[in-house]
Amino acid sequence: MSENGVTREKILKDYPRMGPDDHFTFECRPGVCCFTRCCQDVSIVLTPYDVLRLTRALRMDSSEFLEKYTLSGFTEKPRFPVVLLKMQGEKKRCPFVGEEGCKVYGNRPWACRMYPLGAAEPQNPNPDEHGFHFLIREELCKGHGEGRSWSVREWVSDQGIEEYDMMGASFKALMLHPEWTKKGEALTPAQLDMLYMACYDLDRFRRFVFESRFLEYFDVDEARVEALQTDDEELLDFAMQWLRFSLFGDKTMRVRHSVMEARQGAAGAEEPAAPPAR
């Protein structure tokens, strides 16, 4: 993946690493000569929580939102489904930018909140390597050196990123799972679709949970089942736990005893497989 067209390798090699108390000077406001220029011809990767927030703000079904506003693709290693905002028209403008600025400002994606900062994480868990922030300086953006000085910590708080990071923690745990190195290349098209659905197409995932035999298979607390019907954040967190169980065998889901017994009775079956996602 890249940050605003810059490769990960270049970021690791050339960009000064910033910690929470490092400072930069920056101002972005309506009236600045470059206003909304950063909202065109740009690759904005959406996290699952970005999709959830935008879908809810626009009162759309997640499948409809994904179809209308996003493009999908895959990262390389591991091969993982990603969605990007679909830019529109000759100038490749964000579908949510207007004369007054961002029309979904209160629900704008993580990358839009974070700009002009980027964030990098070590690809594999490593006690000697930590995540860090870095400053993105682009010719088009005239906000650098203007206004007040911000520490990284202050910027993250001011832009409402903490909530996004908190809600993104279970997705991050999935993305950085150590087992990817062993099986990332081996995912089948059905598994990739399962990943896409559970990460981004939450309304479809909800139908899968409630309209398939899912709840006959997994033992989920009654209170949680109730929450999953209406609480999107709860459903997203649950989806990440189901993916960790299904892909890596993590003990994040409880299979019903009756299912275990039936499986153990069947010839040679030691571990139950997850029910199919469709």
Q: Which residues bind ligand SF4 (CB under 6 A)?
A: 28, 32, 34-39, 44, 94, 96-97, 102, 104, 108-109, 112, 115, 140-143
**Total residue length of the chain:** 278
Question: How far is it, in rounded angstroms, from Cα 173 to Cα 10?
Answer: 24
Q: Which is closer to ligand SF4, CB of 140 or CB of 262?
A: 140
Q: Minimum distance between the CB of residue 131 and ligand SF4, rounded to whole angstroms?
A: 22
Question: How far is it, in rounded angstroms, from Cα 27 to Cα 126?
Answer: 35
Q: Minimum distance between the CB of residue 220 and ligand SF4, rounded to whole angstroms?
A: 34
Q: Report whether 100 contacts 30 (CB < 8 A).
A: yes
Question: How far is it, in rounded angstroms, from Cα 49 to Cα 158?
Answer: 18
Q: Which is closer to ligand SF4, CB of 52 or CB of 112?
A: 112
Q: Which is closer to ligand SF4, CB of 39 or CB of 277?
A: 39
Q: Which is closer to ligand SF4, CB of 139 or CB of 211?
A: 139
Q: Report whether 243 contacts 198 (CB < 8 A).
A: yes
Q: Minimum distance between the CB of residue 138 and ligand SF4, rounded to whole angstroms?
A: 7
Q: Minimum distance between the CB of residue 47 and ligand SF4, rounded to whole angstroms?
A: 13
Considering all CA atoms of the chain, what is the largest pairwise distance in Å, rounded to the nearest integer? 71
Q: Minimum distance between the CB of residue 181 and ligand SF4, rounded to whole angstroms?
A: 33
Could you tell me which of 77, 80, 81, 79 has the C-alpha nearest to residue 66?
81
Q: Which is closer to ligand SF4, CB of 11 or CB of 85?
A: 85
Q: How far apart are the first and last CA of the chain?
A: 29
* Number of CB atoms found within 10 A of residue 172's CB: 14
Half-sphere exposure of 161 (CA within 13 A, CB side): 17
Q: Minimum distance between the CB of residue 93 and ligand SF4, rounded to whole angstroms?
A: 8
Q: Minimum distance between the CB of residue 13 and ligand SF4, rounded to whole angstroms?
A: 25
* DSSP code for 218: B
Q: Which is closer to ligand SF4, CB of 126 or CB of 149?
A: 149
Question: How far is it, in rounded angstroms, from Cα 156 to Cα 142?
Answer: 20
Q: Report whether 40 contacts 93 (CB < 8 A).
A: yes
